[in-house]
């Protein structure tokens, strides 16, 4: 498996931005390539700082398409999940997911590996969360994550990898808090304008 991962990584490095997009797609869909897309973003931004936006966008778009593939797999596998989970737990989980589905996808999409993410994407498909809401949550979450990693690469260079490994949980929590704060402000903003 490690030989396969190394060959994927080498291919991505040779391809540049399309390679990052390809790896992010694979990692978010059918394969698990923990940290590879993150490391590629950091390495490529460190090597070519002027292409910061290109690399961050490529990783975000690749991840979005990978997540959409997994979302549609989830959408078609409801009967399979019903057989594996008790009816009461299944209905309870789906109802909670339908109520808070966007946040249930957005928050894990921000967190660095090894935080679980794919089960939430599959459940979003099973719960039939609107695809536009799902895609928006992924774009915000993964976009913020790769943007932050790109910034760290600009600031710290190759030391950004060591920094994220040492402080990944803190970086993830700060990202989640910032996105949640933005979400709360967004929810309250129309009410304030209507009241004013």
Per-residue confidence (pLDDT) for residue 86, from 0 to 100 = 63
Closest alpha carbon to 113 in 32, 14, 17: 32
Higher pLDDT, 102 or 118: 118
Q: Is the peptide bond before 47 cis (omega within 30 degrees of 0)?
A: no
* Domain extents in the chain: 2-195
Gap between the Cα atoms of 116 and 97, Å rounded: 16
Higher pLDDT, 147 or 165: 147
Per-residue confidence (pLDDT) for residue 146, from 0 to 100 = 92
Q: Is the pLDDT of residue 97 over 80?
A: no
Structure confidence by residue, pLDDT tens digits, 32-46: 877 788 888 988 898
Q: What percentage of the chain has pLDDT greater than the value 70?
A: 72
DSSP string covering 57-117? HHHHHHHHHHHHHHHHHHHT-HHHHHHHS-HHHHHHHHHHHHHHHHHHHHHHHHSPTTS--
Q: Is the pLDDT of residue 49 over 70?
A: yes
Q: What percentage of the chain has pLDDT greater than the value 90?
A: 22
Q: Is the pLDDT of residue 193 over 60?
A: no
Token reading at 72? 């549609």
């Amino acid at each position: 498996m490690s030989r396969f991962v190394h060959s994927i990584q080498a291919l991505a490095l040779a391809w540049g931005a399309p390679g990052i997009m390809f790896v992010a797609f694979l990692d978010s869909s059918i394969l698990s390539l923990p940290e590879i897309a993150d490391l590629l973003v950091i390495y490529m931004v460190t090597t070519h700082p002027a292409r910061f936006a290109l690399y961050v966008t490529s990783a975000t778009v690749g991840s979005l398409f990978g997540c959409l593939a997994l979302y549609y797999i989830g959408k078609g596998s409801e009967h399979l999940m019903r057989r594996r989970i008790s009816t009461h737990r299944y209905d309870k989980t789906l109802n909670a997911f339908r109520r808070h589905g966007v946040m249930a996808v957005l928050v894990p999409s921000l967190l660095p590996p090894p935080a679980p993410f794919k089960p939430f994407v599959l459940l979003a498909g099973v719960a039939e969360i609107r695809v536009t809401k799902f895609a928006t949550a992924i774009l915000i979450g993964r976009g913020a994550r790769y943007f932050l990693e790109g910034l760290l690469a600009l600031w710290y260079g190759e030391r950004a990898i060591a920094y994220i490994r040492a402080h990944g949980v803190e970086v993830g929590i700060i990202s989640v808090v910032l996105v949640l704060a933005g979400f709360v402000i967004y929810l309250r903003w129309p009410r304030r304008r209507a009241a004013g």
